[in-house]
Chain A
Amino acid sequence: MDPNNIIVLAIIATSVATFISRFFGALTSEKVSVKSKTFQWFNCVAYSTLAALLGRMIVFPAGVLADSELIIRLIVLITCVVIFIISKKNLVLPTLFSAIFLSVLMHL
């Protein structure tokens, strides 16, 4: 198959695979009350699923991040979380700092 067609089909497959979860989430939401235990459970699962993804991204990253060492990624993450807390939850500071700090540590 023409590589261009494969890319187009991959974009379609990826978009459909992603929208399914969003759309069925919107459909399920119609039947879920904010005060219900079902809602509380979904809320906990949403946070933990997201945390699981982030934990995996730091420990077993995909893409270019895999070229940095785990200990360096952990040092950057912990330092940035500390900056976030002491800067009264400013999010721009730790995110900008993370890119610069990682580059510096990789060249030491």
Chain B
Amino acid sequence: MINSKIFLQGLKSNLGTRSPTVSLAACFIALGALLKDAGFNLQQSAASSFFTYALPGQLVMAESLLIGTSLINIFIAVWLVNFRLYPMTVSLFPLLKHKSQPKWKYYLSSHFLAVSSWLVAKEGYQKIDKKYRIDFWIGIGIGTWSTAVIMTIIGYLLSEYLNKDMMIGLAIVNPVYFFCMMIGAMKNISISIAVIGGTILGPIVYLFSAEWAILYAGLIAGTIAFLFGDKNGSK
């Protein structure tokens, strides 16, 4: 059903100097502590990372609960902030497709899609036989997902020992890690324009429309990058 050798290869991608584990651990420890502050119990905190596993959306949920936002508004705000997962899935899963693999593997393993796993998979998929790429992906995903759940629990339990300075220190790790990974991924002109354009437009559009900023900035910068790459023959 799953090629265990390839699965383990995916799982092992979460170790080493290029792994996202340190960054994931830091930000989910901070999230666990934040959820405790927001009134969650241990089981609820773990369930949040288990079922959602998308840090920006979980942050939006916790902050919305603290200010008493309605459930429908939480739903819309989370959908907008996590909408990036749609283009991310469409830009990864076609690379993992193989007709011999059952569809349920793709549907279920889409839950593992997050920035960390996506970047690791994008970097490593070419080394894997096309037939087993989905098993490689499941290995990466299980590794990052379980790290997130375990670290949320640890963060919750450690929250009394984490002062504000430590929480701020943990919170910067996430954007720094992802920026470095994105810079590492800038291997052609269209991806470079997409990354630079998105970084600049994200905060600018936020000034005009806080909720829609990521979606608008992503669509505008991504389309400009695509058109430029298409015109200049970039892959």
Interface residues of A (CB under 8 A from B): 3-4, 6-26, 28-30, 32-34, 37, 39-65, 67-68, 73, 76-77, 80-81, 84-85, 89-96, 98-100, 102-103, 106-107
Contact = CB atoms under 8 A, between A and B. Distances in A.
A21 B87 CA distance: 8
Contacts of A13: 61, 71-72, 74-75, 78
A102 B169 contact: yes
7 contacts: A10-B74, A52-B201, A89-B184, A91-B17, A99-B170, A99-B173, A103-B166
Interface residues of B, number: 111
B191 interface: yes
Nearest to B168: A64
B140 interface: no
B48 interface: yes
Given A3-B39, A40-B230, A103-B169, A22 B111 contact: yes
B82 A18 contact: yes
Contacts of A63: 30, 34, 59, 63, 171
Contacts of A80: 176, 179-180
The A interface is mostly helix, strand or loop, or mixed, namely: helix
Contacts, number: 341
B186 to A, nearest CB: 9
B196 to A, nearest CB: 7
Given A46-B84, A53-B56, A98-B173, A26 B93 contact: yes
A33 B222 CA distance: 19
B18 A89 contact: yes
B128 interface: no
A59 to B, nearest CB: 4
Contacts of B82: 17-18, 21
B94 A34 contact: yes
Of all A-B residue pairs in the complex, the 8 with the closest CB atoms, nearest first, are: A25-B89, A49-B218, A51-B198, A52-B202, A45-B222, A48-B198, A29-B93, A55-B202
